[in-house]
Amino acid sequence: MRNFSFHNPTKIHFGEGQIAKLGKEIPPGSRVLVTHGGGSIFQNGVWAQVEAALAGFAVSRFAGIEANPQFDTLVRAVEQAKREQCDFILAIGGGSVIDGSKFIAAALCYAGDPLDLLTGTRIKAAVPLACVLTLAATGSESNPHGVVTHVARQEKLPFSSALLYPRFAILDPRTTFSLPARQIGNGVVDAFVHTIEQYLTYPADAPLQDRYAEGLLQTLIEEGPKALADPEDYAVRANLMWCATQALNGLLGCGVPQDWATHMIGHELTALYHLDHAQTLAVVLPALLAERRAAKRAKLLQYAERVWHLRDGDEDARIDAAIAATQGFFSRMGVPTTLSEHGLDAEVIPQVLAQLQRHQMTSLGEGRDIDLEVSERILLRAL
């Protein structure tokens, strides 16, 4: 096992009715900026619960944080928060709203151009934030990371700071009952690939981390299709929500090598062609596993056996079967696994490679050996 440090200070309140705890968790006297996406929180009863819990606080509401939250939108939220002198941010939504709110929290404490915070300037302060999660997917509810899209630059810009862990996160599985199937499928694929990025590399003598990851993957495989079949099965939604949080709260990655090349290539596909984040992952991951089968051989065999229970055939046949099973699972979740299903062909490859080069993404993966040539082969396999 490698040396590591782990510190996740986010407090979780999990279960039905937990939104009522908001009022006790936010410091008395706070002026709260509530951020959210569209109007769904008014239809699914979430806003009514939040509003009741926030009685007694000064509240300013900012609507319209979109999927892949945009820099320009967030700057408007920062202006509103300054005008209203907000000193606490409550994000209601999924990863996009929470990521965007993390950026707002940091930008509120930064005197210069907020774009600096996405292009290398270290975040040195942030307004405290918390969240009410309404979509199980990204893990942003208990991690320090965010990604913001800059439309004019066609870029997805990641940022991270320990100051951006939500102070608390409320996870009520009922808030996800009314989500469209596409978002459920995307969420399950997102959590699955987050787990794979921290697991499917090479053996590092960390059997507990391996088993945690395998347990997560198996649970997503079991519960994911059930969530599509019955949108109001509380137990299923609860299990998916806890899986998604666990998949990217830092625990799985303790002491082990990590990959993240699928995410880096996927980010460019979203920035250029506006695919959903999880759609890019479902396209890139199977292609990457096939391309990297030599470097990942030992873990691919372990994955085949422990996650998919594949024990027949020789080693290469089992690896092939595991990759096919992964694709089959993404398909069952309604998420396509080829670029062509999104109407994209080989012409996009030079553009993606140019973006990777521009962003210095030329030595990706756990071995830092996925250069542009390897990325090209991955994209060719993903057609």
For residue 168, the minimal CB distance to a second copy (Å) is: 8
CA pair distance 280, 189, nearest whole angstrom: 10
Beta bridge partners, 35, equal 62, 91
* 3-state secondary structure (DSSP) of residue 383: coil
If one asks whether residue 205 binds a second copy (CB under 8 A), the answer comes out as yes
Among 52, 125, 181, 235, binds a second copy (CB under 8 A): 235
Q: Is 222 in the site for a second copy (CB under 8 A)?
A: yes
The stretch among 28-36, 42-50, 212-220, 318-326 that binds a second copy (CB under 8 A) is 212-220
Q: Is residue 379 near a second copy by the rule CB under 8 A? A: no
Shortest distance, CB of residue 252 to a second copy, whole angstroms? 11
- Rounded Cα distance between 195 and 185, Å, is 16
Distance CA 182, CA 164 (A): 28
Quote the least distance from Cβ 255 to a second copy, whole Å: 7
Nearest approach, Cβ of 162 to a second copy (angstroms)?
10
For position 360 contacting a second copy by CB under 8 A, the verdict is no
Q: What are phi and psi of 311, to 5 degrees?
A: -130, 0
Q: Give the residue ranges of DSSP H helices in 27-93.
A: 40-43, 46-53, 71-83
Q: Which is nearer to a second copy, 10 or 154 (CB)?
A: 10
**Interface with a second copy by CB under 8 A: which range of 210-218, 321-329, 351-359, 375-383?**
210-218
What is the size of the binding site for a second copy (CB under 8 A)? Answer: 42
DSSP 99: H
Stretch that binds a second copy, among 117-125, 127-135, 181-189, 249-257 (CB under 8 A): 249-257
Single-letter code of the amino acid located at 161: S
Which residue's CB is nearer to a second copy, number 62 or number 168? Answer: 168
- Partners of 88 in the beta sheet? 32
Closest CA to 25 of 14, 11, 8: 11
Instruction: Determine which residue in the list 8, 44, 80, 331 makes contact with a second copy, applying CB under 8 A.
Output: 8
Report the C-alpha gap between 44 and 291 in whole angstroms.
Answer: 43
Which of 23, 255, 334, 367 is in the footprint of a second copy by CB under 8 A?
A: 255
Residue closer to a second copy, measured from CB, 218 or 351: 218
Structure tokens at 297: 């051989």
- Between CA 78 and CA 287 the distance in angstroms is 40
Neighbours of 225 (CB within 10 A): 17
DSSP structure class, residue 381: H
Residue 316 near a second copy by CB under 8 A: no
62-70, 106-114, 238-246, 328-336 -> range binding a second copy (CB under 8 A)? 238-246
Measured from the CB atom, is 12 or 310 closer to a second copy? 12
Does 1 interact with a second copy (rule: CB under 8 A)? yes
The span of 40-48, 100-108, 115-123, 200-208 binding a second copy (CB under 8 A) equals 200-208
Site membership for a second copy, residue 42 (CB under 8 A): no
- What does the alpha-carbon distance between residue 221 and residue 268 come to, in Å, rounded to a whole number? 27
Per the listing, tokens 């599985």 go with: 173
List the x/- string, 156-175, binding to a second copy by CB under 8 A.
------------x-------
Region from 113-121, 178-186, 213-221, 270-278 binding a second copy, contact rule CB under 8 A: 213-221
CA 128/CA 248 separation, integer angstroms: 20
The verdict on 268 binding a second copy (CB under 8 A) reads no
| Residue 177 makes contact with a second copy by CB under 8 A | no
* Residue 22, both tokens: 């908001």
Calculated CA dihedral for residues 172, 174, 175, 177, nearest 10 degrees? 150
Nearest alpha carbon to residue 95 among 169, 196, 181: 169
Positions in the binding site for a second copy (CB under 8 A): 1-18, 168, 205-208, 210-212, 214-216, 218-219, 222-223, 235, 238-239, 242-243, 246, 251, 254-255
